[in-house]
Amino acid sequence: MSRPRILLPSLASLAFVSLGLPDGVLGTAWPSMRASFGLPLDAQGAILVAFTIGYVTASFGTGTLLARVRLGRLLAASGLATGLALLGYAASPAFWMLVALALLLGAGGGVIDASINTWASTHHGLRTLNWLHACWGVGAALGPAIVVLALESGRSWRVAYAAVGVAQLALAGGFALTSRAWPPVTPPGEGGVSAGLTGTRATLRLHGARLGGLAYFLYTGIEVGFGVWAFTLFTEGRAIAPATAGFWLSVYWGGFTVGRLLTSALARSVAPAGLVRGCLAGAAIGSALVWVDGHDAVAFAGLTLVGLSLAPVFPTLMATTPRRVPPAHVANTVALQVAAAAVGAAVLPASLGVVAQRLGLETLGPQLLILSIAALALHEVLARSHAP
């Protein structure tokens, strides 16, 4: 096997670990961060909003960037941006600087996410994409451990961000050294044009591209909706012990890594459309079990089923993108899907909370069930969409 065939997937895997690290770090470091700056609990929202704006804007424009900049150079520049942003977190003397740096961190992460998803969907497929997204789960799990290690050793939360920032800069160096080895996002001879030469507006006119964006909007809304609200539902709504509910939530997130690793191992023996159909049906069943306010074991089983079921959906839909749109539109479509996923992860969980605030926490179960059924129905339409 040639060196690029080993080296590039390895760098891509490390890149997805790096994408998960800041997500895990922020939640664990936030109590110490807000104590350092004398902030209220909800001030974290400013960082999250700025990060999402940077992520959505940059990922949506990645198709255009890939038409002008080689993939390896774009990854190196994005890695440099995220590394500097993380080091800036570690050195920031004021909270407003954290918010400004969150824009840069989100922008760099959005480009890396969309670029590597484009590369993997055009040059690899289901197995590689599930593996990469499993690596994101590894990063998300390592993030809290890095913070705890820093705090337990008597150091500041800033040390954790500095460590992650240095690792990100090292990854950027790896991308820079291999910049010429990264292939074009569209293999030669497919459609006769290069990806990104078609404008974003032309891509948005494609039925498959629009449906793909909507599917990702719904999917991440469900995934993050359970992740954000399950603990509150169980502890405040059903008086389940916080330690128990916290363990359940850890199992839920752990299911994403396990489910994606299993899918990666079995990728050659499963049909993508059937896999996603079964997974979304499983998520709907799990949502119904969570809705049932009965025995605790039923709710735990439902939440675990949702995590395992949702795990392969994001990477599998990404792997099938080249089937839904012509080659020249793949980069733009992947960028659209990544941006739509970020918007869904922000908008839908917030909407769930608004309804729950007005009508009660027990409305979370039926709301998530409705979203799961809607995602399943949309997939049936999406599965019949093919590149013209």
CATH number for the domain spanning 365: value is 1.20.1250.20
Q: pLDDT by residue (tens digit) across 195-234?
A: 444 677 888 888 888 999 999 999 999 988 888 788 778 8
Q: Is residue 186 a part of any domain in this protein?
A: no
Model pLDDT, residue 387: 57
Q: How far apart are the first and last CA of the chain?
A: 35
At position 152, the amino acid (one-letter code) is E
Q: Is residue 121 a part of any domain in this protein?
A: yes
* Among 157, 177, 197, residue at a domain's last position: 177
The verdict on 276 and 362 lying in the same domain is: yes
The verdict on 134 and 250 lying in the same domain is: no
C-alpha span between 365 and 1 (Å, rounded): 49
Q: Lowest mean pLDDT: which of 301-305, 342-346, 372-376?
A: 342-346
The verdict on 129 and 25 lying in the same domain is: yes
Q: pLDDT by residue (tens digit) across 353-366?
A: 888 888 888 888 89
The verdict on 216 and 149 lying in the same domain is: no
Pick the closest to residue 226 from 365, 24, 361 (CA basis).
Answer: 365
Name the domain count of the chain. Answer: 2
The verdict on 135 and 271 lying in the same domain is: no
The verdict on 170 and 244 lying in the same domain is: no
Residue 65 in tokens: 């960037």
C-alpha span between 344 and 213 (Å, rounded): 10
Model pLDDT, residue 98: 93
C-alpha span between 50 and 105 (Å, rounded): 9
Q: Lowest mean pLDDT: which of 3-7, 177-181, 184-188, 288-292?
A: 184-188
The verdict on 282 and 349 lying in the same domain is: yes
Classify residue 3 as exposed, middle or buried by CB count within 10 Å of its CB (0-12, 13-18, 19+): exposed
The verdict on 35 and 114 lying in the same domain is: yes
Q: Is residue 199 a part of any domain in this protein?
A: no
Q: pLDDT by residue (tens digit) across 12-38?
A: 999 988 888 887 787 778 778 888 998
C-alpha span between 89 and 102 (Å, rounded): 9
**Domain, as residue range, for 274:** 207-382
Cβ–Cβ < 8 Å for 335, 115: no
The verdict on 37 and 88 lying in the same domain is: yes
**What is the model's pTM?**
0.77
Q: Which residues have a Cβ under 8 Å from the Cβ of 346 and sit 6 or more positions away?
A: 48, 49, 52
Q: Lowest mean pLDDT: which of 70-74, 302-306, 332-336, 374-378?
A: 332-336
Q: Is residue 182 a part of any domain in this protein?
A: no
Q: Which residues have a Cβ under 8 Å from the Cβ of 205 and sit 6 or more positions away?
A: none
C-alpha span between 82 and 105 (Å, rounded): 5
At position 5, the amino acid (one-letter code) is R
- pLDDT band of residue 302 (cuts 50, 70, 90) is very high
The verdict on 217 and 362 lying in the same domain is: yes
Q: pLDDT by residue (tens digit) across 249-281?
A: 778 888 888 888 888 888 777 888 889 999 999
Query: What does the longest C-alpha to C-alpha distance in the chain come to?
Result: 61
Q: pLDDT by residue (tens digit) across 364-378?
A: 889 999 999 999 999
At position 154, the amino acid (one-letter code) is G
